[in-house]
Amino acid sequence: MRSIAIACEKGGVGKTTIAVGLACGLADRGSRVLLVDTDHQAAATRWLGREHLPGLTRAFSGQLPLERLIQPSCARGVSLVPASTSLVTLERTLDGDPHALFHLRDAVDELDRDAFDYLIFDTPPSLGIVVNSVLCAVQEVIVPVEARPMGLAGLRRILATAGRIQRRYHPGLSEPRIVISRANHTAVSKTVEAQVRKQYGARVFPTAIAERIAVARASGMNRPASVHDAGGPVARNFQQFAAEVDRIEVLPPIGRGAKRPRPTVRGATAPTPQP
């Protein structure tokens, strides 16, 4: 089972659109996908036809297995762990817990790895305890970068955070990859995309996620964009992106098979990296 976080500190870059679209695209290729919505706003949860439920906060605090939170979704081949509104108070809930960053990792480890091919996390636009816990629990990170002049604003910080997590707590975390989001045919969009591709090279997926009105319409109908636009350009866009994700060669975690360390963390969050 591959585990992937869709993460970026900046809001409005299309994290949820990409998380849900990727999940549906992978399911269309025959994969069994579990999407975990860790954003208390629960947008991914609603897109997949469910409402937020209590419980996920308890998984972050080591009190409840993720397996007990899994729900069916409206998308074929995609299961869901719905968001909980109480995630907004998680920082306070875990204050002083020396193992705060590792409870979610343990919950992921307890999942039946033969039940799903992919585990995808939609994350909130922050670098707090939720995102740091997710980074400690996954193998891979995909960072959406909006094709706008301010699109690079959150990229460097999430890359620095992932690097800090990898060095201090999770040596098996792969180097983050980047996907261009909300791309269009304007000169500004093309310039930003070219800049990102020049600077980060092969770490950027060939497929860019286009900005389309069908995505907004699907959101209003609480349906995944690739389902609402089945057979249309949105669905094809995500199917192409999913194919690229599916083909990526994933480096094995460092020290696979060895017992991973549980270092004591002061407070509930990992150190905030310097920009």
Bigger pLDDT: 84 vs 225: 84
Mean local confidence (pLDDT), 131-156: 90
Dump strand ranges (E) for the chain.
2-6, 33-37, 71-72, 78-81, 118-122, 140-146, 177-181
Determine the Cα–Cα distance for residues 233 and 142; give it in Å rounded to an integer: 22
Residue 213 has pLDDT above 70, yes or no: no
Is 263 contained in some domain?
no
Is 261 contained in some domain?
no
Mean local confidence (pLDDT), 51-78: 90
Mean local confidence (pLDDT), 128-145: 94
Lowest-pLDDT range of 67-81, 182-196, 212-226, 255-269: 255-269
Determine the Cα–Cα distance for residues 26 and 78; give it in Å rounded to an integer: 9
pLDDT at 86: 87
Determine the Cα–Cα distance for residues 26 and 224; give it in Å rounded to an integer: 13
Residue 169 has pLDDT above 70, yes or no: yes
Print the domain residue range for 233. 2-247
Is 97 contained in some domain?
yes
22-31 confidence digits (pLDDT tens): 999 999 999 9
Determine the Cα–Cα distance for residues 147 and 165; give it in Å rounded to an integer: 27
Is 210 contained in some domain?
yes
Is 112 contained in some domain?
yes
Are the CB atoms for 124 and 238 separated by under 8 Å? no
Is 153 contained in some domain?
yes
Is 218 contained in some domain?
yes
Number of domains in the chain: 1
User: Across the beta sheet with 118-122, what order do the strands follow?
Assistant: 71-72, 78-81, 33-37, 118-122, 2-6, 140-146, 177-181
Mean local confidence (pLDDT), 254-266: 42
Residue 253 has pLDDT above 50, yes or no: no
Is 252 contained in some domain?
no
User: Residue 189 maps to which CATH number?
Assistant: 3.40.50.300
Residue 6 has pLDDT above 60, yes or no: yes
Which pTM was predicted? 0.86
What letters, b where the CB count within 10 A reaches 16 and e where it falls short, cover 172-185?
Answer: ebbebbbbbbbbee
Average pLDDT score over the chain: 84
Which residues fall within 8 angstroms of residue 216, CB to CB, at 6 or more apart? Answer: none
Confidence of residue 262 (pLDDT cuts 50, 70, 90): very low
Mean local confidence (pLDDT), 91-120: 91
Which residues fall within 8 angstroms of residue 10, CB to CB, at 6 or more apart? Answer: 125, 146, 150, 151, 153, 154, 155
| Nearest alpha carbon to residue 131 among 146, 119, 141 | 141
